[in-house]
A and B are shown apart, each in its own frame.
Chain A
Amino acid sequence: DTGVSQDPRHKITKRGQNVTFRCDPISEHNRLYWYRQTLGQGPEFLTYFQNEAQLEKSRLLSDRFSAERPKGSFSTLEIQRTEQGDSAMYLCASSYPGTSGGGEQYFGPGTRLTVT
């Protein structure tokens, strides 16, 4: 068990560019989540997958954001036409179905995005 990994750890991009982040969950976990965190706030839910199916997407999520998990293993989060307000830490978490709710979620190290 090597934990959740994310790549890249840091990304600086210019406004209007597209960026893509990757998340590799813990191998036996079938649920994968994306969250976004800004300074002084708790993580905010973006979307989640069970295996390869995207089961929920936040209503707050702009159409510029898209996520995939093509084979039920790793996932990618793409942001098109980035804006300065997209600057945040993007967190990926994974879980195994628990006895209640979604089970315990374990986070990766995050990708810090800075849009200039």
Chain B
Amino acid sequence: QKEVEQNSGPLSVPEGAIASLNCTYSDRGSQSFFWYRQYSGKSPELIMFIYSNGDKEDGRFTAQLNKASQYVSLLIRDSQPSDSATYLCAVNDDYKLSFGAGTTVTVRA
């Protein structure tokens, strides 16, 4: 499987702040990039996907992709306690996904 690295956590941010999550991947040929949110004891939930260089915004989430640097990030604006979870970065490897180990985010009130 392709290597996907995420910045080690845990990441603690105050309520209302921006949480910034980073991910690098090994295969320059990767085409599809995904962010999943996983609450403790639950399965991963797809929250963002991005296929082209640049930014993609959806509500309080922004995904950023830089294929030249093999880097994808997720910004969570106006962080809420409900955003406390583990965020998984995934990259396509043909039709399957290769995942990073995840970054745990805690939003403190």
Contact = CB atoms under 8 A, between A and B. Distances in A.
A107 B96 contact: no
B101 A42 contact: yes
Contacts of A101: 31-32, 92, 94-95
Given A101-B32, A104-B46, A56 B101 contact: no
Interface residues of A, number: 27
B1 A45 contact: yes
A42 to B, nearest CB: 3
Contact of B32 (A43, A48, A98, A106): A98
Given A43-B44, A89-B43, A104 B49 contact: yes
B12 to A, nearest CB: 18
Nearest to A105: B97
A42 B90 contact: yes
A110 B49 contact: no
B41 to A, nearest CB: 8
B96 A42 contact: no
A70 B17 CA distance: 49
A96 B100 CA distance: 23
Interface in A5-58: 31, 33, 35, 40-45, 48, 50, 55-56
A71 to B, nearest CB: 20
Interface in B1-21: 1, 4
B74 interface: no
A40 B10 CA distance: 12
A109 interface: yes
